[in-house]
Structure 1
Amino acid sequence: MAEPVRLLIVCLGNICRSPVAEGVMRARIATSTLAGRIELDSAGTGDWHIGEPPDRRAIANAAEHGVDIAGLRARQLALSDYHDFDWLLCADRANLRDVRARAPGGARAGSALLLDWSGLAHEGEVPDPYTGGPAQFEHVFQLLDRAADGVIARLRREYPFLTR
């Protein structure tokens, strides 16, 4: 069996956008033909929330959609991630700049905006809902839900060995 494709979703603190993206993608992939062939994780560029669970509002919003992210814990992007993952998919341009600026020589992981990579370039960036309310968390969930469909489609298209 071929090596799994490894995706790391990156945002600022790893408590709102990236854990929701990880949770949604895990749920979608688990019920697809890609189950067991994709490895997912999430990280933040900042270190403020290391070891903490996702924001309670993100947990509640994801749960409303049947996605459980309560067991996830925040971590900071590590140099090893550039070698351990195939793609570092970033929530916004600031995260993408930080990810690229920190890349060590010989890094194998590609880096891109999550929405661009998933085929939703017209949506731009995933906004940070941290200072917002329920409507902002719902908007982010809906964006990431659509992005998960695009990620699965791209994986099937670009990694055909995953579907054999």
Structure 2
Amino acid sequence: MTDEDSARLALPLLAAGQAQKELWHNEALALLDIAVQASVEEIGRDAPPASPQPGQCWIVGTAPSGAWSGQAGAIAGWTAGGWRFVAPRAGLRAQHLPSGQMASCDGKTWRIGEVRAARLLVDGTQVVGARAAAITVPTSGATIDAELRACVETILIMLQTHGLIDA
């Protein structure tokens, strides 16, 4: 970052008395068009596609080549003026178009499909919260309790499968 770039997205800033301000302004708008409500075709691609369309974006992989060299982890967007890149920053998010899942950047790595939350509410009612401690599977009782034990064990297995309690 320089004094000529914004702090978060490294957008070019206009300077007083600067000639051809429209070039800097248009460059900033092109980068915003890539970064704001970003959507990407693919995550982790190392080589630019052969025939990108204006507005299409990709998240560059860890070993970029060609026009993407030196842009590992960046969002690469194809524009009428060529490739533009938004550097990876913690908190940057993009929708992965093929899966519909969100990808988020921790500053180094992009993670797709992970949702981080303290709890999940549906219509204002908490349906998932922090994981509870493991529940002991019943192991004793009379023969008449066999069906109940099987039922409870099945419930416990499903709760564990869904990650709601420890195994």
* TM-score, normalization by structure 2: 0.21
Q: Which has the larger radius of gyration?
A: 2
When you count strand as a share of all residues, which structure comes out higher? 2
